[in-house]
Chains A and B, each alone.
Chain A
Amino acid sequence: MMEKILSRHFFNAEARKLSFYLNDGGYEAARNALTQMTPQQVADQVIRSNLRGLGGAGFPAGRKWSFIPKDSPNPRYLVVNCDESEPGTFKDRHILEWTPHSLLEGIIIAAYAIGASQCFIYTRGEYLHYARMLQAALDEACQAGFFGKNIWGTGFDLDVLIHLGAGAYICGEESALLESLEGKKGWPRLRPPFPAVSGLFGCPTIINNTETLSYIPAIIRYGGSWFAGLGTPQNGGLRLYSVSGHVKNPGVYELPLGTPLREIIYTHAGGIRQGRKLKAVIPGGSSTPVLRADEIDVRMDFDSLAAIGSLLGSAGIIVMDESTCLVKALAVLAKFYHHESCGQCTPCREGTGWMARILNRILDGQGVRDDLENLLRVAGNIRGTTICALGDAAAMPVFSFITKFRDEFESHVLQGRCLASK
């Protein structure tokens, strides 16, 4: 049985060519889906695969598709979230670079399943280079007749447009992404209505993550149950773990859901560089609660991480060794959320800047006794009161860093001394 799906041909420049992909059985799944399956059968396979959204929230992909109202007279849209701005995550970039046709084939299948004839791929503006690679692949596929009018003579039309963002983390949030796609600033929308009911231009819209869609061809080809069997129960299949920070071999590792974090760090990513000791790991991108070194025996899947108070998020693993000053690390993250808060709703707009300023002051040795309580309180006041999840994302690291490494923070505040071993 195959151990890798998407990463089989990573770092092989030939693999991004259509001819290579076709030789590998590419676009067969899409052709099968369109010619031999009903949209419902396609969706059923995806539901059976237990494939959960891989952009952060972990919502079951098949069920999301079912939210499209059956009777809407408006056109339906498929939007691919390829904004990938969560610090620590870079898997989508690898898909664009090495296996763009997996994504494109997944798009055909998903668009067929939801009845969309227009798809937008929203990529972050910094990925211009990678968007061009995707565009080249798309052009090849169009030439081959996989996109456009009347695909494979089924009467199904599909047009794909690659849309570049312009540098805003918030546009990875699905409703902000839609606003951005409509040419507006990326201010998240109030919900309900959810995008599946009223999304892009007020029409039913399904937004899937790049990685999610890229796995769909394999699911259709080998069946949903096969994919589900690759992972732990309720957490289907494989996923791409991005590993960065103080590891010997940072990169993307395609492993079954539920692979222990320790194994990912020490076996696949080669362990900590320079023989240092591990101090902390952020398991799922910058906004997920940090884990202490003694917590890394957790299985990397949605439920196991949630059980110990963290999140799988986008599976961007950031590894920090003993030389890391966690106050500094948190200040960097706080600066990030301050920079990226869209400014629409009060708690996030004012709170992210406040937290960043307190942390900077602490780093400057100007901390005062109440600072840590204040940080926790401000984070607590942001959490759960904002329009979108960015507020929560900004608050979670503050909670987890301060509660799990309180001594380091207190040492900084009270003694102006950093406990990190240099």
Chain B
Amino acid sequence: MPTLTIDGQQVTVSKGATIMQAAEALGIYIPRYCYHPGLRVAGSCRMCLVEIEKAPKLDIACYRQAAEGMVVHTTTEPVKLARQSILEFLLSNHPLDCPVCDQSGECDLQNFYMEFGLYQSRFLENKIKRRKAFPIGRHVMLDNERCILCSRCVRFCEEVSRSHELGIVNRGDRSEIALREGSQLDNEYSGNVIDICPVGALTEREFRFQCRVWYLNRAASVCPGCSRGCNIELHYNVNRPHQSGGKRVLRLKPRFNAEVNKWWMCDEGRYGFEFIDAPSRLQDFEIRTAQRTVVASREQAVQTLSDWIGDSIDRHGSQSLGIFLSPKLSNEDLYGIGKFARHVGIDCLDFRNPSERPGYQDDFLIQADKNPNTRGCLELGLYRRSEDSGGWMAGEIQRGKVRVLIVFLQDLALAPEFQQVLGRLERLVFVGSNRNGTAEIASLVVPSATYAEKDGSFTNFEGRAQRFERAVVPLGSAVAEADLVASVAVSFGMQREEFERERLLSDLRREYPFFDQEALNPPELEWVYQTPIGQERL
């Protein structure tokens, strides 16, 4: 347990910790390019050179281990000079591409240059020309001129994705990133190399020219792509909608969580946000009769729904109502719906879509269950334990027991069990964000908010409940499921306050001790892979 002094502050770190880690513990930021906490130390960029007393020359903080009594300086003149010179070297062959580079605004070369740079070019020679802007995979563009050879991407492909696509070929200043002949950077985690690239050498094809990053806002969220629940950030553009053709959510970035996903996320999750602004989004309440479909106001729709529920209870009892939930709903929405169901006596509930098959999974992040909140549904007990899948409800409809079915998000029309029987229902209500087969035949369609448009929490497969925060307002007339239920529940004598987000969460935690977790504390934005965007200036 060595104790060392950095910039006059003492800190004790565990044995084997580096100066970089010790400095981080003190909140001292040492600039770096090749160092990434999730990868083997390369020690090649030399940006993190620090002064160690009694050492003959500067040494790199990312590799040198802390030793007892070590005295380190990170802001002295020799250190500043070293940083300036490293930046000057890096820029000597780096093109002045910032105007067209998607990385500008979140580029470490820009940021560190503004902070530590020399501000006066003394480089009179011609820059080395290399191949620019070519795709090297489904999601990634490479620009060899911009590359500073930090080798983060190479190490990522060696150590994390273990796919070994990238390498550094040639030597000296002819070195460049290259792929194996005829191959592509197409592993399941390829998007991460974009995040860890400190400059604009690796950029995202999907995000290309969609928006300058300083227009982006960020929201802490949880990936809904599978039951891993990777912590993510939603980056959305509402300042300059014209730049990205009206699309609001433009990209997802992983958010550091040591227990869940570290610094990474998979491509499937990363590019699985298109549905948020897709043309298939439902934006209006629709009431459908045999003859025609009319757009209704929220009040009309809520009234209709309340009437149908009340009517069915009056005529056939609460057993005639069925609710088909979705493991894509948040804990709070599920709990709110469950609360209402209990209040009016509906116990015909399930969430397991019989047509859903397990998907691809690997031994790193990707889970076979592509729903973010299956565990939450299970913990809340919103299913019939005696049955092994949700298909039993088709039987209840067939037998004429369930007459009104409210379906959340799921496309039951795809499930063979339900295809035959949905027509037998008196009323089919669909609540969902995007149009699907079930929405097409529903007599009432309620547009609902996606996870990007509301606050909530998902419980991942390990039982970790994690909060996500709202990024954008719901599209069109879309409402959060719990809000819809709240409006309906008022007609049945419940208080609207019972369905407020914070109240739902606190009730949930009280009623189900399982959810009383540390992880449910409000998320904090943690920028681990890049220095913050200077958003406050706009």
Contacts and interface: CB of A to CB of B under 8 A. Distances in A.
Contacts of A344: 44
B46 A168 contact: no
A340 B174 CA distance: 11
A347 B86 contact: yes
B41 interface: yes
Given A343-B172, A343-B173, A385 B82 contact: yes
A279 interface: no
A370 B125 CA distance: 13
Given A351-B89, A354-B123, A354-B125, A346 B172 contact: no
A346 B171 contact: no
Interface in B146-188: 148-149, 168, 170-175
Nearest to A337: B172
Contacts of A190: 41, 43, 63
A339 interface: yes
Contact of B168 (A338, A343, A386): A343
Interface string B88-104: 11101100000000000
**Chain B interface secondary structure, helix, strand, loop or mixed?**
loop
A387 interface: yes
Contacts of A341: 171-173
Nearest to A348: B172
A346 B93 CA distance: 11
Contacts of A357: 125-126
Contact of A346 (B45, B57, B122, B170): B45
Contacts of A374: 122
B3 to A, nearest CB: 21
A368 B124 contact: yes
B58 interface: yes
A350 B93 contact: yes
B89 A340 contact: no
A245 B174 CA distance: 31
A353 interface: yes
B44 A385 contact: no
B301 to A, nearest CB: 62
A384 interface: yes
A85 B326 CA distance: 69
A347 B43 CA distance: 12
B85 interface: yes
Nearest to B175: A343
B175 A345 contact: no
B122 A386 contact: no
B44 A346 contact: yes
A357 B86 CA distance: 18
Most chain-B Cβ atoms within 10 A of its Cβ — which of A340, A343, A350? A350
Given A345-B45, A368-B124, A381 B85 contact: yes
A59 B173 CA distance: 31
Given A381-B88, A385-B58, A385-B82, A349 B173 contact: yes
Nearest to B43: A190
Contacts of A170: 171
Please classify how large the interface on chain A is, using the bins under 10, 10 to 19, 20 to 34, 35 or more. 20 to 34
A358 interface: yes
Interface string A178-208: 0000000100001000000000000000000
A385 B89 CA distance: 12
B49 interface: yes
A386 B175 CA distance: 17
Contact of A387 (B43, B123, B149, B174): B43
Interface in A256-300: none
A340 B41 CA distance: 24
Nearest to A342: B171
A352 interface: yes
Given A185-B171, A343-B172, A345-B46, A381 B89 contact: yes
B39 to A, nearest CB: 14
Contacts of B174: 343
A361 interface: yes
A354 B171 CA distance: 15
B63 A346 contact: no
Given A190-B43, A354-B123, A346 B173 contact: no
Most chain-A Cβ atoms within 10 A of its Cβ — which of B122, B128, B171, B175? B171
Given A374-B122, A385-B86, A350 B173 contact: yes
A346 B45 CA distance: 5
B90 A350 contact: yes
14 contacts: A341-B172, A341-B173, A346-B44, A346-B86, A349-B173, A350-B89, A350-B93, A351-B89, A353-B93, A361-B124, A381-B85, A381-B88, A385-B86, A387-B44
Given A349-B149, A358-B124, A385-B49, 6 more contacts: A341-B172, A343-B172, A346-B45, A346-B89, A357-B126, A385-B58
List of 9 A-B pairs having minimum Cβ-Cβ separation, nearest first: A381-B85, A343-B175, A350-B89, A341-B172, A384-B57, A357-B125, A353-B173, A190-B43, A345-B44
